[in-house]
Structure 1
Amino acid sequence: MLHVLGLSGHAETIYRAALQYPDHGVLALCEDSGLSEAEVRAALDELAALALVKPSDQYGERLRLVSPEVGLATLLASAEATLAERQAQLQKTRAEIAAMAANHRDTRSSESVVRLPGLDAVRARLEELQQTTEFECLSLNPGGAHKPDARNAATPLNEEALRRGVTIRAVCRESFRNDAATLLYARWLTEHGGHMRTLPTVPIQMIVIDRRTAILPLTPTEPRSGALEINSPGVVAALCAFFELCWSKATLFGEQPPSDKAGCTPMERALLEFVANGDTDEAAGRKLGISLRTARRMMATLMERLDASSRFQAGVHAAKRGWL
């Protein structure tokens, strides 16, 4: 306990023993403490340096113990003074950091669009934004499984934001349910107060912070190439409206996507639309984040339900029946 005052474990042991047995010499203190003679003498030297023992004026080379009310109180006062000085330095540093951060924000806010070159710059900026998020974080996530490094980077930031009362809403592609680790992360997010919904396809990757800052990829097909930070109120408002449209059409995580009047799930309807527009099963599966085998199996089931012998005929029949 006394280590905060600068005492080692051995020094504290000997000091306590000397308080209990003030007449004991070095050899007796060895028996009292279980320490060797060398350890006891080193502890006494340490206590002398801290002014907790002093040379005896009565018994020559013997040492006299300084009481806790005097010796420890002096050390405590010194530690408190050091702590107060340290706290004053930290307060000054905190003020300097706040000034630097304000200047950094002012510099960015003066630019309606800021280019973030590369993945490192994007993640660094997202870390800054999530640390200062006040009330809301919205995101569209067109990918399937979240990569472990991205998931590990996002988890502590999201946890801290949720603890501060920030609302987190995310729209993800339904196929992420096929990845066990991403599914586990989605459950963690919703259990901790986040909100997630799914769509068969998500049109673009996007993050909006506090309805005033948006992050969009420079190249949608290559998110690692960097991003654009947009601070224009008009553009951000339009992006928020686009998010709300996606959110309104999405299925709450944990619920099964509802079928429409024709009995098609959102995933089946999206597959039909892709095929009707000329996509192959492979291309449609890639957009939906499902395997070619799964896409073909879904398409075969749809063709059977539509009484179609070809993909082209399936599209024609689907249009006639109002499925598209």
Structure 2
Amino acid sequence: MNVLNTRATTSRPLEVLGIDEMQERIYRVLLAHRMATTEDIAKMLSLSPRKTQRLLDSIESKGLATHSPEQPRRYIAAPPELAVEALASQRRADIERACSTIPELKKEATSTANNQGNEQVVEIITSHAALGQIVTHLHQTVQSEVFGFQSGPSLNPDSHQQGQRPGVRIRSISDMAHLEAPGSMNSLRRVMQLGEEARVFPTLPVTMFVADRRIGLILNAKNPASGPTLLVRACPLLDALCAFFELIWERATPITFTQAGQLETGKPNAQLTEATELLLPLLAAGLNDKAIAHEAGISDTTLTRRISELMKCFDTRTRFQLGWRAALNAFPNDLTVSTTTAKPPSTAR
């Protein structure tokens, strides 16, 4: 879900091992040239000999390089499968040691909560940086499902890049305000290609994110990037939020995209033109005329004319009737009007 994914990706994977950009450049130069002196590297990278020597000493201390005993020293890059793996193993060991403190910290937190009489199941998050860390952690630790509402503008319209974790079901419901925001439709296409299930509902009261039904986040729908965020842990309130989502999910309109990247919500009518087929799902999604015209790539005048043609085709006088008739045409087996006359209830005597 893009509206809540604030994790920043790095283009330098070695950075997580404590290797800065200049150290990585030195290491790559050594890998490319197999052996080089301080002076050679300084010339290749346009650095001073003193700075180059400091960098060589630093990567040597990390196990990325060694030097010959003779003068001038000749530096040789350590094999990546040995050097990088050794640093990664050390980092994993550090992380495991840090994680080993979790039971102790949880015990202290539980003790504090017991002393206060009640566990804090709802917290107010006011820092955007703290919110980003929480969301990143939830994305990294989610086991089975993520779902939520997307209302209004996204925190980051281009934040769909991390993809979907295997075995994790992701569902999102967007409202009109979100879909009409610039870039939202393209962003939605990308995540649905990665496996996310998406539906649309006319209006949503909040922006919400729930991970594994154990932690939920509630943000300001009008501007999720500002204002406080509520963090809700497992409790009756979170159960109610989950039930509310499922209720809206059942009533929301499913969204799919064709191979050409066009939005659709059902099987198109074979009697309609290709341009008209594009309008039906957009109308069913509840988009306004401006958004529909933009998505269809037509002018407002052309849109008005084609909607009039649709209404004549389906013999309807209002857009509500048009939407209903279009749905009946697309899903004849699912949307049928019962013609059975209900029997009046018997009168008790």
Question: Could you tell me the TM-score, scaled by structure 1's length?
Answer: 0.50
- What are the ranges of 5 or more consecutive residues in structure 2 without an aligned counterpart? 1-33, 35-59, 76-85, 259-263, 270-276, 328-349
2:283 aligned residue: 268
1:207 Cα deviation from its structure 2 partner: 0.8
Q: Which amino acid in 1 is paired with 2:244?
A: F
TM-fit CA distance, 1:135: 1.7
Give the counterpart letter for 2:218 in structure 1: L
Q: Which residue of 2 aligns with 1:129?
A: 138
Equivalences for residues 101-250 of structure 1 within 5 A: 110-143=119-152, 146=154, 149=156, 151-152=158-159, 155-156=161-162, 159=164, 162-163=165-166, 165-173=167-175, 182=184, 185-192=187-194, 194-199=195-200, 201-203=202-204, 204-217=206-219, 219-223=220-224, 224-231=226-233, 233-248=235-250, 249-250=252-253
Q: Quick one: which of 251, 257, 262 aligns to 2:254?
A: 251
Match of 1:96 among 94, 101, 105: 101
Match for 2:128: what amino acid?
L
**Is the CA contact 1:140–1:202 (under 8 Å) kept in the aligned structure 2?**
no
Given the superposition, is the C-alpha separation of residues 6 and 259 from structure 1 closer, same or farther in structure 2, using an over 3 Å criterion? closer
**TM-score scaled by length of structure 2:** 0.47
Residue in 1 that maps onto 2:67 = 9
Give the conservation status (yes or no) of the 8 Å contact 1:213–1:229: yes
d(CA) in 2 for partners of 1:6 and 1:222? 47
* 1:104 to 1:6, Cα distance in 2 relative to 1, 3 A: same
8 A contact 1:205–1:220 mirrored in 2: yes
Give the 3-state SS of the residue equivalent to 1:122 in structure 2.
helix
For 1:6 and 1:232, locate their aligned partners in 2 and report how far apart those are by CA, in whole Å.
Answer: 46
RMSD: 5.2
Compared CA separation, residues 6 and 234, structure 1 to 2 (3 A): closer
What SS does structure 1 have at the residue aligned with 2:218? strand
- For residues 267-311 of structure 1, the C-alpha deviation after alignment (integer angstroms, 9 at most, x for no partner) is 42565xx9xxxxxxxxx568x7986x977865664456557xxxx
Q: 1:99 to 1:137 in 2, by over 3 A?
A: farther
SS of the residue 1:245 aligns to: helix
- The question of whether the paired residues in 2 share the 8 Å contact of 1:137 and 1:167 is answered with yes
What is the CA distance between 1:208 and its match in structure 2? 0.9
Gaps of 5+ in 1: 15-37, 47-79, 275-283, 308-312
**Deviation for aligned residue 1:9:** 3.1
Q: Displacement of 1:195 after TM fit? A: 1.8
Instruction: State the Cα distance separating 1:225 from its structure 2 match.
Output: 1.3
If asked which structure has higher relative contact order (CA below 8 Å, sep 6+), I would say 2
Percent of matched pairs sharing the same residue: 16
How far apart are 1:210 and its partner, in Å?
0.8
CA distance in 2, matches of 1:84, 1:257: 49
Q: Distance in 2 between matches of 1:305 and 1:91?
A: 63
Separation in 2, partners of 1:267, 1:253? 11
Tell me, in whole angstroms, the C-alpha distance in 2 between the residues paired with 1:242 and 1:221: 20
Contact 1:200 1:266 in 2 (8 A): no
Pairwise CA distance, 1:196: 2.5
Contact 1:199 1:266 in 2 (8 A): no
User: Shift in Å at residue 215 of structure 1?
Assistant: 1.3
Stretch of structure 1 that moved more, 232-241 or 100-109: 100-109
Change (3 A) 1:198 1:97: same
SS in structure 1 at match of 2:213:
coil
Shift in Å, 1:168: 1.9
C-alpha distance in structure 2 between counterparts of 1:260 and 1:84, whole Å: 55
**Deviations 1:143-187 (Å, cap 9, x if unpaired)?**
46x56x4634x644x55xx05x33222233579788896555445
Task: Write 1 or 2 for the structure with the bigger share of helix.
Answer: 1
Amino acid at match of 2:248: C
Q: Distance in 2 between matches of 1:247 and 1:136?
A: 14
Deviations 1:43-89 (A, max 9, x none): 8xx9xxxxxxxxxxxxxxxxxxxxxxxxxxxxxxxxx9xx9999877
The answer to whether the Cα contact below 8 Å between 2:147 and 2:210 also exists between their aligned partners in 1 is yes
